[in-house]
Amino acid sequence: MRIAFLTAPEGVEQIELTDPWQAAVDAGHEPVLVSTKPGTIQAFHHLDKAEKFPVQEVVGETTAGSFGALVLPGGVANPDYLRTNRKAVAFVRDFFEQGRPVAAICHAPWTLVEADVVRGRVLTSWPSLRTDIGNAGGTWVDEQVHICDHGPNKLITSRKPSDLEAFCAAFLDVFARQPEEVA
């Protein structure tokens, strides 16, 4: 399955990109780095610059329909930028409208809030997003990983880097059970 990994040009938490990416590769999937601009993205270890990664596809030039699923890595700056980019928000919303699974970790649900897709859903995140999720009509829970079945697609969320092992196992399990026409 082709899996979109959506990030901003700068600010993604590197481990929240690289660990899920490697888990997807190890499971036989094809991860694709999607961003709002061509070139490279700058990852971070908290506030310190880390590695750069090449962008493979650009929002606005690709569609949710060309992927079986979406992974939204966190980092504070990453989803804060994405939620202000009209094309990125539309790209995320399209996954929900098409019933494709979405996985988001840490601060990434900020983009989901902006896409107006958390209403009626139960999810987890970095604790500081609790009020934003509640104000957007979602229910926040403090769990290592949460899988929400509300609506036509599954939403897999997790709180923080120390939850990555559980997050990767959960989204890989959900992605593996996708119907062929979605995968």
Catalytic residue (one of 29, 45, 107, 168): 107
The DSSP annotation for 8-56 comes to -SEEEEHHHHHHHHHHHHHTT-EEEEEESSSSEEEEEETTEEEEEEE--
Which H or E element spans position 123? Answer: strand 122-123
pLDDT digits (tens, 9 = 90+) for 38-86: 999 999 999 999 999 999 999 999 999 999 999 999 999 999 999 999 9
pLDDT of 152 > 90? The answer is no
This prediction's pTM: 0.97
The yes-or-no answer on residue 106 being catalytic is yes
Mean of the per-residue pLDDT values for the chain? 96
pLDDT digits (tens, 9 = 90+) for 91-148: 999 999 999 999 999 999 999 999 999 999 999 999 999 999 999 999 999 999 999 9
What structural domains and CATH numbers belong to the chain?
2-176 (3.40.50.880)
pLDDT class of 183 with cuts at 50, 70, 90: low
The yes-or-no answer on residue 150 being catalytic is no
Catalytic residue (one of 106, 146, 148, 168): 106
Half-sphere exposure of residue 125: CA atoms within 13 angstroms, side-chain side = 30
Stretch 152-162: mean pLDDT, rounded?
Answer: 96
Alpha-helical (H) ranges within 42-163 are: 77-82, 86-97, 109-114, 130-135
Nearest 5 degrees, angle CA 55-CA 101-CA 58?
20
